[in-house]
Amino acid sequence: MALLELLPLVGLVVLVGLLELFVSPLPKGIGKNPPFPNPHHLSYYY
């Protein structure tokens, strides 16, 4: 029962981790805009 309740939480953590992996290199990359606005990298737009 506890394991089933933890699954969505673990999935969310994994998703956020993957998102950070894909998003963090973007501002340092070529002058490409990220596919979606990311509040963590607002400075990238200015």
**pLDDT of 34:** 52
Do residues 40 and 23 make contact, with C-beta atoms less than 8 angstroms apart? yes
d(CA 6, CA 3): 5
pLDDT (0 to 100) of residue 46 = 46
Q: How many domains does the chain have?
A: 1
Q: What is the rounded distance in angstroms from the CA atom of residue 43 to the CA atom of residue 18?
A: 21
pLDDT digits (tens, 9 = 90+) for 1-46: 677 888 888 888 888 887 777 766 555 544 555 555 555 555 544 4
- One-letter amino acid at 5 equals E
Task: With beta carbons less than 8 A apart as the criterion, state whether 34 and 28 touch.
Answer: no
Parent domain of 8: 2-42
> How far is it, in rounded angstroms, from Cα 22 to Cα 11?
17
Are the CB atoms for 26 and 34 separated by under 8 Å?
yes
Q: What is the pLDDT of residue 30?
A: 47
